[in-house]
Amino acid sequence: MYNIKMKSIFLSNSKDKLFSVYSNDIINQLEQLTQINTNLCYCKEDILKNPKYFNDTEYIFSSWGMPSFTLEEITVLFPSLKHIFYAAGSVQHFARPFLELGISIHSAYKANAIPVAEYTVSQIILANKGFFLNCLYQSNNEISKAIEIRQNIKGTYGCYIGIIGAGAIGSTVIKMLKSSYNVKIMVFDPFLSDDKAIELKVEKKSLHNLFASCMVISNHMANNEQTKGILDYSCFRLMKKHSTFINTGRGAQVVENDLVKALKEDVTRCAILDVTEPEPPLDSSQLYTLPNIFLTSHIAGSLGDELFRMSEYMLDDFKKVILNEKTIHTVTLEMLSSMA
């Protein structure tokens, strides 16, 4: 049976975002399972103004806008806290001090990985058909250029696809591709073990080997100081003719001017960028000027009704916690080094 005596709160500095993630059905279930005011979402300022009110809080439900706290603040403000359920993806900005104090964190990063992977797989298939440049030229009555693209299409069957980062999103992309298409997949990921590579049926390669060998390269690298600017001209200059670079990872991992330079050098190369740094690009950015660069406004992740899947994952873990069962979506300190 469920214990309904523990106190829970919604916590986010972005109330509207939080309540766009937690569906009415999820909220109703939480109301039945725990003591929570389903009409209130607290922000950090609320906590600091009334610290004693939150001393008996055992569970926090959050999403985008989860505030960060220091070790000292957590100790004073949340002495009873046991679990945080984060219905969103990356926990890098707030998780470490909570984890260091032994507070469990659950993240819906696997739920958010699904729409990103779906988006990525669709772009990979379109890229292998030469869709982007062919569509551009055909729509602008540049028929000879459209024909040239069409004549150089290799298609998806038996092709090499490069995946940068085999975390939650990258591995989901790999599994989706392997389940439906006859493809060969190369992966660059320093954290990918040989055993995991065998399980995924992929080839581990260096970053440069990936760019030099694959017709489509998709970035899903973890976002940290070590990966900023890692995708530079030394990578992009190796891209094959008619190849495509897709970025749904982080814009800061790409040296923008280097990508622009490589795509100017060979206009048959193509880039699909769902993320940039900054986001959106500056008005002066050359990303707006090249016909072989296609920009979307960070649409790969969860949008619309897809958001509810993240809170469903957190509700499932919460139920397991109060039934003393093993949870599925728990984040550990060790995981932070390789997570996005």
- Count of residues making up the chain: 340
Average pLDDT, the chain: 95
Nearest to 7 by CA among 147, 25, 42, 23: 42
Shared fold status for 7-111+304-337 and 113-295? yes
Round to whole Å and give the CA distance between 116 and 120.
6
pLDDT single digits (tens) 2-12? 455 579 999 99
Q: Per-residue pLDDT averaged across 86-114, rounded? A: 95
Determine if the peptide bond prior to 115 is cis (ω within 30°).
no
Contact call for residues 223 and 247 (beta carbons, < 8 A): no
Of the candidates 34, 49, 55, 45, the residue with the CA atom closest to the CA atom of residue 11 = 45
Per-residue tokens: 174: 């790999």
| pLDDT value for 161 | 98
State pLDDT tens for residues 152-188.
999 999 999 999 999 999 999 999 999 999 999 999 9
Q: What does the pLDDT read at residue 255?
A: 98
Does pLDDT of 225 surpass 90?
no
Whether 288 shows a pLDDT value over 60: the answer reads yes
* pLDDT band at residue 223 under the 50/70/90 scheme: confident
Look at residue 338 in the predicted model and tell me its pLDDT. 74
Residue pLDDT, tens place only, 116-137 = 999 999 999 999 999 999 999 9
Domain ranges of the chain: 7-111+304-337, 113-295
What is the pLDDT averaged over residues 180-206?
A: 97
226 exposed, middle or buried (CB, 10 Å; 0-12, 13-18, 19+)?
exposed
Given a cut of 70, is residue 248 above it in pLDDT? yes
Pair of tokens at residue 185: 């997949």
Angle between helices 307-322 and 24-33 (to 10 degrees): 10
CA distance 90 to 92: 6
Pair 106, 84: CB distance under 8 Å? yes
Query: What pLDDT is attached to residue 5?
Result: 56
Confidence at residue 123, expressed as pLDDT on a 0 to 100 scale: 98
The CATH H-level superfamily of 7-111+304-337 is: NAD(P)-binding Rossmann-like Domain (3.40.50.720)
Q: 8 with 61: CB under 8 angstroms?
A: yes
Q: Name, in order, each residue with C-beta under 8 angstroms of 245's C-beta and a sequence gap of 6 or more.
A: 216, 217, 218, 219, 236, 239, 259, 269, 270, 271, 272
> What is the average pLDDT across 212-223?
95
Can you identify the CATH homologous superfamily of domain 113-295?
A: NAD(P)-binding Rossmann-like Domain (3.40.50.720)
User: CB within 8 A of 180, min separation 6: which ones?
Assistant: none
Binning pLDDT at 50, 70 and 90, where does residue 222 land?
Answer: confident
pTM: 0.89
Q: What is the pLDDT of residue 209?
A: 98
Span 47-51, average pLDDT: 94
What pLDDT shows up at residue 1? 44
